[in-house]
Every structure is written in C-alpha cells, then in structure tokens.
Amino acid sequence: EQKRRPFVLANWKINMEPREVGPYLEKVLPALADEHQVEVGIAAQDLYLSQMLAAAKGNPLTIVGENAHWEDAGAFTGETSPKALAQMGVEYVLIGHFERRKFFNETDETVNLKTLAALRNGLKPIVDLDEDLSAYGNLVPEKVVLAQLKAALDGVMADEMDQVTIAYEPTWAIGSGEAASADQAQEAAALIRQSLANLYGRDLAEKIRILYGGSVTPANGQNFLCQPDIDGILVGKAALNPEKFLALVDEA
C-alpha cells in the first residue's frame, strides 16, 4: 500500500476564459475515469467553482479554491469566505501562494490565520512555502522555508494535520521556466518533513503530503514525482493545456 497518495494539482490562477472551462473539463474528465492511484485537482478562481464542482461530481477530480479569508463572514468586501467555500463542497484551498504573498501582501501571520480558518471550516489547506528570502533579512533559504512552515502551522493541532498539505514552491522557480533540480526539491522536502517530525512526531510527518511547484512540465515532472519526500506537483503554466496536464497525471 502506498504511504502517501500522489497529488497532481493544476493552478489556473486567473487564466482560462469562461468559454474555455467546459471544453477543458470535457477533455480531462473522461481521461480520469479510472484514476484511483493519483489524486487529481484543479485550483481555479471562485467564479468557476460552481460549474467545476457540478462537472466533477462523481468523477475523480478535486476542485480547489485559490484563496480564502481568515474570517468566516462579515464586512470584508471582495474576499472569499472559507465557510462558504466549504459549504459549496470545495475540499481544498491554496493558502499563501507565492503570488498572494508577493502581490497581495500576505505575510506569515495572515497565512497562519487563513490556515486556521480553513481548518476550522473543514477545508483542507494546501500551505504554500515560497522561500522568499526578502522577508527574512539574511537567513539562508533552508531556514526561511522552515520559518514559513512553523509560522503557518502555529496553533494547528496534531489531530488536524492529516487535513494539511504542504507545497514547496520556491519564488524563483514559479513561472520562470527554471524549475528547481530534483535534488534541490527533494532536499527541501526532506527538511520540511524533518521539521514536521520535530513539531508533530515522525509518524504524523510520514503521512503529510509535500508537493513541489515551480515550472513543472511533462519533461521534468517525473524527476520530482519519483523523489522519496515529494508527494505530488503543483503545476501552473503547463496545466493550462489539458494534454500536458493529463501527461503529468500519467507520470504520477
């Protein structure tokens, strides 16, 4: 039996026009019909989630939100309620994606609040660690990623950790065409797992999935997927093409 089920997750960001959503799913869903080994998901902007949830019903495709606020409800115009996402049937939400940190001023503190809010509402957070050195003065990259991990999980209880996925997505690798090497990514994932073991114990740490993201393509995907501590991939640009996305699912 597999220790951790691989997770192949597309991140559409705010790409994809409304008219493109249906045809994309029509290509992908039949190809996934017998997919049990791998968890396959698509993160999409809120506007498309209802349509995607309806299309994915009864199919092995997981629909993922790209962001959620740290408050469940209230006067926060333009934000996404984690409670509403959960009630709509969304299972996972990305928290603290590199672009949220970079362009929307998300910090370790807000990432932590959002992680807690997701868990409180029964949404599974996919916590993104971007290893952005600029927020940490002169710390070395390994220290930054672990500091981000610890900060994000502050107050998360051991019995909630089976709901959590970690994504290691170094800033410099996202959208740059320059992926980390498989060795680099494995090293970071192993450090993250060791840190999870320090926080929650080895048994729990062995159950938590750690994804790699940053310029993954069908040409390099397998290199990441075969690493012992990498349990899946988060794919931006390449996943905008359904054939490439399916090729990556096949590799997992």
Residue in the shown chain whose Cβ atom is closest to ligand PEP: 236
**Of residues 66, 97, 160, 251, which has the active-site annotation?**
97
**Of residues 131, 160, 169, 251, which has the active-site annotation?**
169
97 belongs to the catalytic site:
yes
Nearer to ligand PEP, 236 or 242 (CB): 236
Residue 241: burial class (beta carbons within 10 Å; 0-12, 13-18, 19+) = middle
Pairwise CA distance, residues 155 & 119, whole Å: 11
Asked if 236 is part of the footprint of ligand PEP (rule: CB under 6 A), the reply reads yes
Pairwise CA distance, residues 16 & 104, whole Å: 21
Using the rule CB under 6 A, give the single segment among 23-31, 182-190, 196-204, 235-243 that binds ligand PEP. 235-243
For residue 38 the two structure tokens come to 């791998």
- Out of 95, 117, 216, 249, the only residue in the binding site for ligand PEP (CB under 6 A) is 216
- 3-class SS at 120? helix
Asked if 85 is part of the footprint of ligand PEP (rule: CB under 6 A), the reply reads no
Residue 133: burial class (beta carbons within 10 Å; 0-12, 13-18, 19+) = middle
What is the b/e burial string over 100-127, where b = at least 16 CB atoms within 10 angstroms of the residue's CB? Answer: bbeeeebebebbbbbbbbbbebebbbbb
69 belongs to the catalytic site:
no
Asked if 60 is part of the footprint of ligand PEP (rule: CB under 6 A), the reply reads no
Nearest residue to 80 via CA among 97, 66, 62: 66
Pairwise CA distance, residues 73 & 109, whole Å: 19
Least distance (Å) between residue 77 CB and ligand PEP: 26
Asked if 6 is part of the footprint of ligand PEP (rule: CB under 6 A), the reply reads no
- Out of 7, 11, 66, 186, the only residue in the binding site for ligand PEP (CB under 6 A) is 11
Asked if 102 is part of the footprint of ligand PEP (rule: CB under 6 A), the reply reads no
Question: Known catalytic residues?
Answer: 97, 169
Contact residues toward ligand PEP (CB under 6 A) are 11, 169, 174-175, 213-216, 234-237
